[in-house]
Amino acid sequence: MKNSFRREKIPKALKFWLSLLIGVLFLYLAFKNADLGKTFALIRDAALLPIFMSLAVRGMGLWVRSKRWQILLKPVKNTSSLNLFRILSVAEMGNYLLPARIGEVIRVVMVAKRETISKASALASVFVDRFLDLLALLILLASLSFLFDFPDLIQKGCVIAAAFLAVITMVCILLLRFKEFIEKVANRLLAKAPKVLIKFEQGMHRFLDGLVIMRQTRQMVQATLISLFLWLSYGFAFYLVLVSLNIDLPWYAAFVVAATIGLAEAIPSTAGYVGTFEFFAVAALTVFSIEKSTALASALIAHALQYITVISMGLISYFWLNLQFSDLKSLSQPLSLAENK
């Protein structure tokens, strides 16, 4: 038992330290050669009205995400948008305070428990939710490419993301189309382990229930349009930060920065994407010939606003749902998709 416990702990510890190392490295690169005196002077003198407007736009973004999630869950159950907003707020707070994106696990377990659906179906909805984020980012960047020549780093990131998206799409299509064939193969391979087979079939059926939304064209188009609006709103929120610092750039620059940050969030990093957010925001802004100290000031303000939004909405929802710290601890445990709820 002790050896098993240690084996489970080692990968978690390795993932934590690797993410921390990556985050610290990116943070160092973001701050390297920047005039910190100038950076913090710019932050101190930033105009407050655009900052408060940016904060409001980010708060609206959480609500929009919950409405999109409601659409994705519709084939499984008609859910409460208010309930989903509170769950999403707590889960996002988990992502910003806890390592290894534990917030996604919290999100799955909470919606399964409070909306009485299976964890596998809940997991599938979160999977499609993130899939749509990536799709919207690629559509946005492809549209912006007609206005702006992206540097090699962003181009390569888009190619990798597009390839990943294509593979995921193909896997989902195969799972939905060849469900019966997969069951037959599983029956043969797991014939001598009936308990494992039952758990596998239960988990697969419920996960595929959550993926059914991908076959419903109208709902998927609706969810994709919401995703595009969501990322446009993130771009506008960053534009307001640039306005607060009196940075004069083409209107589309803020959307390029927001999309670059969105792609960078796929990189393993510390809680709240500390390091990766700053580095890629600065890198994207310097492409537009913005001096590094100024770029860093805008990145720090934007990230701080994101933290304020997520933590404040998360805490309000946390107390609204009458959660305790022990609840979060139990919610973040590994998922068992074969459970009924």
Task: Report the distance separating Cα 263 and Cα 12, nearest Å.
Answer: 24
Count structural domains, the chain: 1
256 in a domain, yes or no? Answer: yes
12 in a domain, yes or no? Answer: no
306 in a domain, yes or no? Answer: yes
Q: Are 62 and 309 in contact (CB under 8 A)?
A: yes
Local mean pLDDT, 10-residue blocks, the chain (341 residues):
48 76 93 96 98 97 96 93 95 88 90 91 92 92 84 79 87 81 78 73 76 88 96 97 96 93 85 93 94 98 98 95 72 56 44
Give me the amino acid identity at 47: A
Task: Report the distance separating Cα 42 and Cα 137, nearest Å.
Answer: 30
Task: Report the distance separating Cα 70 and Cα 64, nearest Å.
Answer: 10
What pLDDT sits at residue 2? 46
What pLDDT sits at residue 214? 85
Q: Which domain does 130 fall in, by range?
A: 22-331
237 in a domain, yes or no? Answer: yes
Note the helical H segments in the chain.
Answer: 2-31, 36-44, 48-73, 81-97, 102-114, 119-144, 152-177, 179-189, 194-211, 217-244, 253-264, 276-287, 292-320, 325-331
What pLDDT sits at residue 176? 79
240's tokens: 């307001």
What pLDDT sits at residue 88? 97
264's tokens: 């960078």
281 in a domain, yes or no? Answer: yes
What pLDDT sits at residue 171? 86
Query: Model pTM?
Result: 0.87
Q: Are 316 and 66 in contact (CB under 8 A)?
A: no
What pLDDT sits at residue 183? 76
Task: Report the distance separating Cα 336 and Cα 199, nearest Å.
Answer: 9
Residues with Cβ within 8 Å of residue 242, at least 6 apart in sequence: 249, 253, 254, 298
338 in a domain, yes or no? Answer: no
337 in a domain, yes or no? Answer: no
Angle CA(124)–CA(97)–CA(5) in degrees, nearest 5? 70
Angle CA(190)–CA(336)–CA(340) in degrees, nearest 5? 95
320 in a domain, yes or no? Answer: yes
What pLDDT sits at residue 341? 44
